[in-house]
């Protein structure tokens, strides 16, 4: 964005910078937000002048959502699996192979189109930064193809070759890990910032996870883990030990896991929509937060465990069922996501940060949890809009 833009007549501006306003959310009332060449230039009283003007008409403006965990590049859906689950079949991650078959069969053009539709949905719902993983290719060609699609839309791309052992490597998990750590990683690394592993019974064990993260680190990729989703396990411990930026899910945590998170820089990222869609218990967010760990909330948009791009929906669950305060949940979905991506230029609306903002059709951020399921985002100012072509 070149030139200047002012969002004016903001009833309640959430800056996430306590030095700018009230409380942890740094709330400023009757405010204006001036954005110059895409960067926040000033936060001030209403009435600022700029080349372009958006009148917030007294509504709430907050930092765009930072969705730090998605699997947006895939073909097909798994509505049948979801229906069976609602009839009692448990989620075990095995359906990843169904999506892998569909994704391998899709053309690159189809994958791009599908990703754009999901991005458009996320943008309309207020997301301005999105992480996108591979993980439905599970061979060299299709993992790289997925990352090439993803990198067209975001700098936050994650190589997830270690999502599940594909059927052609059945009973040969170590051979597959070897492939991931060598040939696949070498081809994927130029297209990724992050490396991720699904560390869970039925996917990859602690040693395999360590091996993939170490190889990724050698190749210049930063680590993150899917862990403690289906039961207690080594995910959190390995994430902390390996200095991962984030461990995602954290649905089943032991006291030792919580202590480890609290005394580390690893962010505990909750994915409430996955627990919702898989009928699992919700994480004990209160214990994690009260212990002093840093938390984030992300959508985990994928066709198996969480087919939603709505960060507001995740906030509403976090408040209603995970007992997070509304302020905590909004922070987790904005500055928390930024921390999980080790970014300090997003998730806040302070001078020098990127001018990524969400204008609500509501007077305060409380409405995000108070009015669940209602599309409260009136306008999103951020980069994802530039990629969206009109839906057919």
Binding residues for ligand NIG (CB under 6 A)? 93, 95-96, 99, 198, 226, 229, 274, 300, 302-306
Distance CA 253, CA 231 (A): 8
Query: How far, in Å, are 45, 47, 147, 265, 372 from residue 140 at the CA level?
Result: 54, 55, 11, 32, 41
Q: Residue 36 or residue 81: which is nearer to ligand NIG going by CB?
A: 81
Distance CA 10, CA 84 (A): 46
Least distance (Å) from ligand NIG to the CB of residue 131?
Answer: 12
Say if residues 268 and 295 touch (Cβ distance below 8 Å).
Answer: yes
Residue nearest to ligand NIG (CB): 304
Least distance (Å) from ligand NIG to the CB of residue 217?
Answer: 21
Least distance (Å) from ligand NIG to the CB of residue 266?
Answer: 17
Q: Residue 234 or residue 382: which is nearer to ligand NIG going by CB?
A: 234
The full DSSP string for 220-262 is TPEEEEEESSSSS-SHHHHHHHTT-SEEEE--S--HHHHHHHH
Q: Residue 199 or residue 381: which is nearer to ligand NIG going by CB?
A: 199
Least distance (Å) from ligand NIG to the CB of residue 60?
Answer: 30
Query: How far, in Å, are 39, 106, 272, 320 from residue 323 at the CA level?
Result: 34, 41, 12, 6
Distance CA 115, CA 81 (A): 21
Q: Residue 167 or residue 389: which is nearer to ligand NIG going by CB?
A: 167
Query: How far, in Å, are 78, 213, 242, 291 from residue 233 at the CA level?
Result: 26, 17, 15, 20
Least distance (Å) from ligand NIG to the CB of residue 384?
Answer: 21
Helix, strand or coil, per DSSP, at residue 379: strand
Provide φ and ψ at 231, rounded to 5°.
Answer: 180, 175
Provide φ and ψ at 124, rounded to 5°.
Answer: -60, -30
Least distance (Å) from ligand NIG to the CB of residue 151?
Answer: 20
Least distance (Å) from ligand NIG to the CB of residue 73?
Answer: 12
Say if residues 44 and 316 touch (Cβ distance below 8 Å).
Answer: no
Helix, strand or coil, per DSSP, at residue 22: strand
Closest by CA to 195, choosing from 179, 180, 207, 213, is 213
| Burial class (CB within 10 angstroms; exposed 0-12, middle 13-18, buried 19+) of 167 | exposed
Q: Residue 278 or residue 380: which is nearer to ligand NIG going by CB?
A: 278
Q: Residue 48 or residue 130: which is nearer to ligand NIG going by CB?
A: 130
How many residues does the structure list for the chain?
A: 392
Least distance (Å) from ligand NIG to the CB of residue 160?
Answer: 8
Least distance (Å) from ligand NIG to the CB of residue 296?
Answer: 14
């Amino acid at each position: 964005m070149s030139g200047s833009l002012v969002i004016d007549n903001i009833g309640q501006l959430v800056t996430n910078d306590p030095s700018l306003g009230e409380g942890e959310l740094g709330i400023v009332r009757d405010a204006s937000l001036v954005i110059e060449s895409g960067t926040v230039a000033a936060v001030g009283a209403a009435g600022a002048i700029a080349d372009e003007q958006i009148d917030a008409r007294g509504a709430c403006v907050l930092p765009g959502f930072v969705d730090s965990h998605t699997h947006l590049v895939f073909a097909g859906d798994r509505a049948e699996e979801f229906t069976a689950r609602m009839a009692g079949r448990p989620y075990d991650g095995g359906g990843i192979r169904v999506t892998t078959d569909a994704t391998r069969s899709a053309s690159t053009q189809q994958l791009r189109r599908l990703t754009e539709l999901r991005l458009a949905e996320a943008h309309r719902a207020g997301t301005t930064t999105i992480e996108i993983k591979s993980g439905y290719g599970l061979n060299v060609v299709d993992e790289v193809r997925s990352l090439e699609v993803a990198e067209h839309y975001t700098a936050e791309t994650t190589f997830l070759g270690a999502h599940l052992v594909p059927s052609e490597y059945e009973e040969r998990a170590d051979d597959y890990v070897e492939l991931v750590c060598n040939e696949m990683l070498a081809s994927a690394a130029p297209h990724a910032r992050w490396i991720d592993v699904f560390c869970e019974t039925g996917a990859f064990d602690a040693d395999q996870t360590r091996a993939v993260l170490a190889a990724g680190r050698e190749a210049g990729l930063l680590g993150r883990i899917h862990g403690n989703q289906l039961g207690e396990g080594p995910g959190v411990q390995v994430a902390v030990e390996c200095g991962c930026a984030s461990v995602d899910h954290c649905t089943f945590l032991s006291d030792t896991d919580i202590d480890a998170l609290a005394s580390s820089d690893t962010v505990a990222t909750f994915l409430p929509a996955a627990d919702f869609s898989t009928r699992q218990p919700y994480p004990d967010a209160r214990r994690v937060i009260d212990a002093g760990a840093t938390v984030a909330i992300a959508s985990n948009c994928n066709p198996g465990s969480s087919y939603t791009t709505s960060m507001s929906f995740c906030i509403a669950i976090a408040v209603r069922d995970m007992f997070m305060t509304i302020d905590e949940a909004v922070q987790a979905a904005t500055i928390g996501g930024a921390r999980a991506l080790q970014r300090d230029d997003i998730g806040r609306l302070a001078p020098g940060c990127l001018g990524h903002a969400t204008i609500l059709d509501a007077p305060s951020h409380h409405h995000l949890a108070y009015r669940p399921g209602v599309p409260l985002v009136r306008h999103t100012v951020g980069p994802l809009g530039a990629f969206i072509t009109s839906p057919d």
